[in-house]
Amino acid sequence: YLNVKEDYRTFITKPWKEHYSDLWIDNLLNIRHLYSIRFAKKDDVKTLNNLAKENSIYYITAIPEEIRLSRQLWLEKSGFPQTNNLILSNHHDKDYYVRYYEIDLYVEDRVPIIKYLENITTVIVKKQPWNEELWNDYECINSISELERII
């Protein structure tokens, strides 16, 4: 991984900044099609389906409301379990949903959310270049398929 110490949005848009305006980048990041064209990792889908046999699975994400339908259809098309449990949040209300649904294990990649939720539930860090500072302090995974070894 690169030695990156910035948030996801900054990290993902940095290469475009010198060539494109902020407006262009915002529009690109909000294209619905982009949220449905990538392929799900089969091992991740299999893991979540196995876990869903005895657990509730919630997908708490900070995508825009306009993207909800395409994200839900992508989840369904890819074979993810319990796709009706797609919850759109802003980054500041994830704790509400964790408490409300009594979620006892939460996978996250954003540093501020991880640090905030650590006193509320068990947080598993999904390794990303922007959260490398946490890798020694938290249980970490590279892929959702690794959850079964933790649980």
Q: How far apart are CA 87 and CA 83, in angstroms?
A: 10
Q: Is the pLDDT reported for residue 2 higher than 50? A: no
Instruction: Check residues 59 and 34 and name the one with the higher pLDDT.
Output: 59
pLDDT digit string (tens) for 97-136?
A: 999 999 999 999 999 999 999 999 999 999 999 999 999 9
DSSP assignment of 77-91, as one string?
A: HHT-S-GGGEEE--T
* pLDDT greater than 50 at residue 150: yes
- Which residue carries 């099609």 as its tokens? 33
Average pLDDT over residues 63-81: 86
Distance between CA 130 and CA 2 in Å, rounded? 9
Domains of the chain: 8-150 (3.40.50)
**Most confident listed range (12-26, 37-51, 103-117):** 103-117
Model confidence at 93: pLDDT above 70: yes
What is the reported pTM?
A: 0.75
In this structure, are strands 140-141 and 122-126 parallel, antiparallel, or unpaired?
parallel
**In this structure, are residues 60 and 100 in contact, taking their beta carbons and an 8 Å threshold?**
no
Q: State residue 1's pLDDT score.
A: 40
